[in-house]
Structure 1
Amino acid sequence: MKIRKIDNTYWVKNIFVDSNYLYLTNSEPNKSCFLGRIPLVILKENLKIKSDLERYFLSNPNPMEFDAVLGANSDVEIIYNSDKYIQNFFTIDKNNYITFIDNENNIKTIGYNGYNIEKIKDFLFLNKIKDDCVFKNKNKIFLLKKDDYINIDAVNIIYINNQYIIQDSLEKISIYDLNFNFVKYIEKSNEFKKIYFLNKKNILISFLNNNKTYMYNLDTNKKEIFCDFFINRAVLVNEELLIAKSNMNDNLYFIE
């Protein structure tokens, strides 16, 4: 495993990915923000260059915020500007959606291309599982295509090997079967953590307090250290590339 930290990416506060683009935002509370994107083809070509310092292909493209020279050399294209916090960007049936949170913590999800789904307008998107999309509404999860609520207060959910890995609001991580019946706990501590899908056998469990991320194998029920930093944001581009953010003011990690 090789871990790289690419220069001039500290401005990125959150990252999202689809089959064609990596999306990046500078979103912070109480400030104007934007959503940008870079084609994955261009991203991968730039990563072939071994140097990590003085790299500008992911620098902030907004010359109003940073050095205009850096912005001019960025391959990131701004596609949306907002005066609200951009919380998420996701795709359903080839339509893109953006979730905003305003200063009063009101949630609003709109279609980026104008196609809105009324029932999810004030829901938080969690993840895609099998052939459905999962949202959080208050203390329940909502399955969009099944149009069904499940009485689980989840903050994250991962589908893997015909089971669900769910992190709840008390920070416990559990396995559920396909009918959302509880199977067992993976992690019962209440310390702040994040979970991420890694591959068909492993998930990542990242702990803030001890600043470590572990790879947990679902077949062996064993974990080992994956990296010596907390992963606050992450997207899996493909089996060979994980992009991660640790400290919100630090550069992005590229883990290959």
Structure 2
Amino acid sequence: MSPESTDRTRPVLAGMKALITGIANEHSIAYGCAKAFRELGADLAITYAAEKTRPYVEPLASELEAELFLPLDVGDAAQMEAVFGQIRQRWGRLDILLHSIAWAPKDDLQGGLLHCSGEGFARAMDISCHSLVRMAALAAPLMDKGGTLLTMSYYGANKVVPNYSVMGPVKAALEACARYLAYELGPKGIRVHAISPGPLKTRAASGLKNFDLLLNEAAERAPLGELVDIMDVGYTCAFLATPYARRVSGETLYVDGGVNIMA
């Protein structure tokens, strides 16, 4: 039975508080996740990365009735602490954290791993990977009754995807961080997952060379015969945040129509 033919309105996340990071526009994976969380009853806090992205994100936050709309440059420690401080002040707790942030300098991303600068590699690792660790440290005290942390990876973390370059090793590190955080935060009832969507037309993906070829190949190889969209990812993340997934943690979950199982 397809999602379109089922009733998805049951508010299984009612009363839960969710922080969504990484929305850039209406094509962002994070936006699909935010829509799914809200549709299932969660209250939202949404961040935007910089003033230049605010005009694109603010209407989406308004549409989703976000209770908090805050700036978050993950490289600014004070700003990150302020976000979690606002959540503590407004809600006193947090149930769901979505980390959907990835970035590398364009020259380092498009020049191949062999020619990636040390500075570019370190910057990509800090923004795309270690920022999850910093967020987890701030979120954990707000999840005193348990919670769910979700981050976005990609197939290139485990297999070589031409032109994915420095982001392959970075995403591999991100998946490892998710596993170690799941171990360390498990005793607190906090579950951690890396989600690995199939190729999607997002702003981040537009920086990859020959990305249209990846899309076409994925559609041809997927056992389900079609590409996924941001809502497919969003509903998967929503499921993982529900009590139905209360004994699932530390997973890297593929949402790609089955592409990852193909040789």
Q: Max radius of gyration: which structure? A: 1
Whichever structure has more strand as a proportion of its residues is: 1
Shared topology, TM-score over 0.5? no
By relative contact order (CA 8 Å, sep 6+), the higher-ranking structure is 2
TM-score by length of 2: 0.28
